[in-house]
Amino acid sequence: EETGKGEFDHYMLKEITEQPTSIAQTIEGRYDPRRGSVSFDACEPETFADIDRVVLAACGTSYHAALYGAIVLRRAGVDADAILANEFGVSAPPIDDRTLVVAVTQSGETADTLGALRAASRAGATTLAVTNVIGSSAAREADEQLFIRAGPEIGVAATKTFSSQAIVLTLLADRIATASTGSSSLPIDDICADVDRLPSLVETLLNGSAAESVARRYRGERAFFFIGRGLGYPVALEGALKFKEITYEHAEGFAAGELKHGPLALVTPETPVVAIFTGTEDEKTLKNAEEAATRGAPIVAVCPGGHDAVSLADAHLSIPDVHPMLSGLLATVQLQLVSYHAANLLDREIDKPRNLAKSVTVE
Ligand code: AGP
Mutate to test the pocket of ligand 1, among 10, 59, 63, 117 (most ligand atoms within 8 A of CB): 59
How many angstroms is it from 164 CA to the middle of ligand 1?
A: 14
Give the ipTM: 0.98
Ligand 1 pocket member 112 (CB < 6 A):
no
358 catalytic, yes or no? Answer: yes
Mutate to test the pocket of ligand 1, among 168, 354, 360, 363 (most ligand atoms within 8 A of CB): 360
Q: Please report which confidence band the pLDDT of residue 2 belongs to, taking 50, 70 and 90 as the band edges.
A: very low
* Exposure letters 122-158 (e unless 16+ CB within 10 A, then b): eeebbbbbbbbbeebbbbebbbbbbbbbbeebebbbb
CB 80 within 8 A of CB 53: yes
Ligand 1 pocket member 110 (CB < 6 A):
yes
Mean pLDDT of 127-135: 97
- Can you give 95-119 as a three-state secondary structure string? CCCCEEEEEEECCCCCHHHHHHHHH
Mean pLDDT of 316-335: 97
| Interatomic CA distance for residues 70 and 53, integer angstroms | 11
> pTM for this one?
0.97
β-bridge pairing 53-58 and 126-131: unpaired
> What angle, 0 to 180 degrees and rounded to 10, lies between the N-to-C axes of helices 327-345 and 160-181?
160
How many angstroms is it from 256 CA to the middle of ligand 1?
A: 24
pLDDT in tens, 186-233: 999 899 999 999 999 999 999 999 999 999 999 999 999 999 999 999
Indicate the average pLDDT of the chain. Answer: 95
What confidence score (pLDDT) does residue 128 get? 97
What confidence score (pLDDT) does residue 161 get? 98
pLDDT in tens, 290-302: 999 999 999 999 9
Query: Phi and psi (nearest 5°) for 7?
Result: -80, -5
